[in-house]
Structures are given as C-alpha cells and as structure tokens.
Amino acid sequence: MATTSNAGRAQKARPVSQQSRLRNLWENIKSIVGALAIFLVLRAFLVEAYRIPSGSMIPTLLVGDWLFVNKAIYGAHVPFSRASLPAYRDPKRGDVVVFVSPYQADEDQLGHDPTPTLVKRLVGTPADTLYMRKGLLYVNGIAQRQGYGIAPPDSVMGTAVSPLFDWQKKVGLQSSRFGSAPSQPTLDNWGPIIVPPKRLFMMGDSRYNSKDSRYWGFVPRENVRGKPLFVYYSYNADDSDRPMPYITDIRWSRIGHWIK
C-alpha cells in the first residue's frame, strides 16, 4: 500500500513541476521582450549609434569613428511616419547634425542609396544669406572661421564645375548688397543664396572632400535626425596596414572624444 501511495504522489507532482518550468520560461520570455522593447524605444527616440564611413568631416570626425547620437534634442523622428516628437531646441548654425539627405538622382542612377543618412555641419539656417568666394564661406556677409581643417584653395578643384550645381542657378540672387551670383557656380564660388523657411544648408568640414548642400541643395527641417554626442569607439579604418584593424588599430585617444 505504501508503494502504491508513493507512486501516486509522484505522478501528481509531475504536472506541478511542468507548470513551474512553463512559468519560468514565460517569465524569461517576458524579460527578453521587455528588454528588447526598451532597447527599441531608446534607439528610436533617445540615442542611436552611428558609424562614420567617409572623410567629409575630417578632422572633426574620422573614418572609423563610432558615435552616439542624441535623437531627442531636435525632436525624435517617429518611425514609419513623417511625424516627430517635440524638440528641446532647433538646430543652430555651427552644430554637427545627423540627417537624411534630400533625394540624390545621380546616386539612384548608380544603384546607390539616393537618400542616405549623413553627418555634416549646419552652416545656414532659414533667412541666412550664404555665398563662397575663393573658397571662403560667408554667412550674412561675415567670413566664417576656417578652423575645420579646410585645405588651401586648389586652383583645379576650386574651379570645378558639376551639373549637380545647376540647382543653384534658380535660387542665386542676381543682385544683392553682397554682389550677384556667378552665372556658373563652382566649388569655391557660388551664391549669394537665401536659405528658405524650414530648410537648412549643410557642408562638410573637409570642404574639398564633401558632397553636401552645394550639390543636392537645402535639407528639409523634418529630415534632421539628431546631434552626435561623442565617439565611443574608433579604429583606423581608412589606411591601416594591420590585420583586423578594428581590434589591432584602435584609436584609443579618440574614445570619449566630445564632438563640437
């Protein structure tokens, strides 16, 4: 009788143990889903990582820099919509900004992403008058400091002409207190142009190595995605001669570098 009774108790205990395992599994699933949801919310509305793939912002940003980007400061973009959350402040002239590029037909024809996410410096806000003469940028008639690693004007590159500059011919001022726009804009000589409402003008710090608003025009305010905060990881990705440079050629001095 005792053996039968013990067997009966053992059989009854099995469902309880199975329920416990199922309960633990469910709790683990909820924890994982909750953590994933928090990560997605943080990534969508607060902070996101971004990698620098080109040298258009040298020396401020280097190829191989990985950045944390504050998405909330300018109003985080709501995914799968054209809406944005309220901003702490609007982008200011001089800010380094992450944004979605206006449509670039030439990149589309090459099979590339025609609206890539880019990092440039904001040089013109609504109502600003911009122009360049001999490679020097003027904002509202004031020459801008050249402390962004700009190469000395090159007689060949500075006079370069591109059909992508032709959009400027429609907006260039024919007469103004700053003079008139050249009939043919070049890399070093263009404008004056006035930045329209709710539009921004972006340029790379490495002026001769940057495809920017000079080529594809004004950036809609709603395209802005955030402001880079600091470099959290960096390695020599452009000219390293070491194997696995992401491990062997880390730029330790860049880690923690605040972006200005």
**Which are the catalytic amino acids?**
56, 120
Phi, psi values for residue 150, rounded to 5°: -80, 130
127 vs 132: CA distance, rounded Å: 17
Judge whether 245 and 188 are in contact, CB under 8 Å. no
Query: Under DSSP, is residue 2 helix (H, G, I), strand (E, B) or coil?
Result: helix
Contacts of 138 (CB under 8 A, 6+ apart): 130, 131, 132, 144, 178, 191
45 vs 81: CA distance, rounded Å: 13
149 vs 177: CA distance, rounded Å: 29
48 vs 50: CA distance, rounded Å: 7
Report which secondary-structure segment, H or E, holds 14: helix 2-45
The answer to whether the Cα torsion of 151, 153, 155, 157 is positive or negative is positive
Contacts of 125 (CB under 8 A, 6+ apart): 90, 91, 92, 93, 195, 200, 201
Phi, psi values for residue 228, rounded to 5°: -60, 140
The answer to whether the Cα torsion of 61, 62, 68, 72 is positive or negative is positive
Tell the residue number behind the tokens 């919310």, with chain if given: 41
